[in-house]
Each structure stands twice: as C-alpha cells, then as structure tokens.
A = this chain, B = another copy of it.
C-alpha cells in the first residue's frame, strides 16, 4: 500500500476539502478563507469541487504553524511565504555558484598541470631552439 509520505511534494489533487481539513487539523471553512486570501490554490474538478494535493497539505500545515504558533495574520503569512520562496531560490543559485567556483579553480590548476593548455600557449612562449630556453 502506498503511504502518504511517498507522495510528498506531489502536485496531483487527491483530497476533498473535508479530508484536507482533517489532515491539516483545521476547519474546512478555513481552507476557503485561505484560498480567497491567495494563500492556497487547490485544483478543481469539472464539477467545481476543490481537490487538494499533498503539496497543498504541506503548505497548509506551514500556514497553520505561522498563524497558530506564532500568531501571524494572513497578510503576514502571504509575504513570509513569498520571502521564503525567494530565499530558497537564492540558496539554490548560491549552491550552483559554489560548484561553478570549485570547478573553475580545479580547471585553472589542472589546465596548467596537464597537456591541455599546450594549444593555447602563445607562439612566442615556445622557444625556437633549445639553447634559447634560458633567455
């Protein structure tokens, strides 16, 4: 049997509002309020019924922590969610850049150590005759 955890981050709408509310421990009406405030955007069935995804539930739990544990109102939650998304993006970019830097440094020393650089050496750096090397 597939467990709920296996679908972590899944975007497919699978839960009706009553189940989603129960999973997140909130009132179904609360979910409608969150949606109106632009905090949540569950998909809809052809019959206009909301369908919440696993990702929606996670988001819901995060919102619930911010409002209940920290006493932050919905306007604040909205901005916080946006800021955290930006932080996440920035962290990813920074990780990529760190790898890039690591690679650039490795390349710099390896190109010198290996033969790869011979074809980039300026011609003037190549001595015509062995006895000219020391000049």
CA distance A91 to B94 in the complex (A): 9
Report the interface size for chain A: residues with CB under 8 A from the other chain.
43
Chain A interface, >50% SS class: helix
Docked Cα-Cα span, A86 to B121, in Å, equals 45
Closest B residue by C-beta to A76: B76
Identify A101's interface contact among B84, B101, B112, B128, CB under 8 A. Answer: B101
Contact: B104 with A112, CB < 8 Å? Answer: no
Q: Is A98 an interface residue (CB 8 A)?
A: yes
Which A48-85 residues sit within 8 Å CB-CB of chain B? 66, 70-73, 75-77, 79-80, 83-84
Cross-interface CB contact of A130 among B70, B79, B118, B128, cutoff 8 Å = B128
Residues of B within 8 A of A79 (CB): 66, 70, 72, 76, 80
**Who on chain B is nearest to A120 by CB?**
B112
Is A80 a contact of B83 with CB atoms below 8 Å?
yes
- Kindly identify which residue among B66, B104, B130 contacts A108, using a CB–CB cutoff of 8 Å: B104
